Amino acid sequence: MIALGSDHAGYALKQDIIKHLDETHTEYKDYGTFDESSCDYPDFAQKACEAVTGGECELGILVCGTGVGMSMAANKIKGIRAACCSDYFSAKFTREHNDANILCLGGRVVGAGLAIELVDVFLNTPFSNGANHLRRIEKIKSLESK
């Protein structure tokens, strides 16, 4: 199950992602927003991220205007490793090397076609489990308690 969240600036791109997830029979839960009325992205980042850290969802996708605000908010939540990506390489290797569990996208930065490619590579790339990567992720986790 994939957790989805957006603010008003990311709503339209989230709708494109939902259409793609429906077409590929990928299960998801949408944590809002549900229209283009002005709202605050941290509220929706928190809801989707808590679904991931709570085990209800395996991964998450957050969309705001740039993707940056969502990633900043998401990374404040213990257990979240969110990455704002606008290219294929970053979306692939943030999963493979960093075991990122949240993909953040900018609705005003990437178009629907690229966003779908980024979603697909993010959702379909497994974590490599390499010793070097595990050591680094443990160091990231230790920062959460400081």
CA distance 67 to 117: 16
CA distance 57 to 3: 6
Residue of 20, 39, 97, 133 marked catalytic: 97
Cβ–Cβ under 8 Å, residues 61 and 49: no
Verify whether residue 64 is a known catalytic residue: yes
Cα distance between the two ends of the chain: 31
Cβ–Cβ under 8 Å, residues 68 and 83: no
Which residues are paired to 106 by β-bridges? Answer: 64
Residue of 8, 49, 57, 64 marked catalytic: 64
Residues annotated as catalytic are: 64, 97
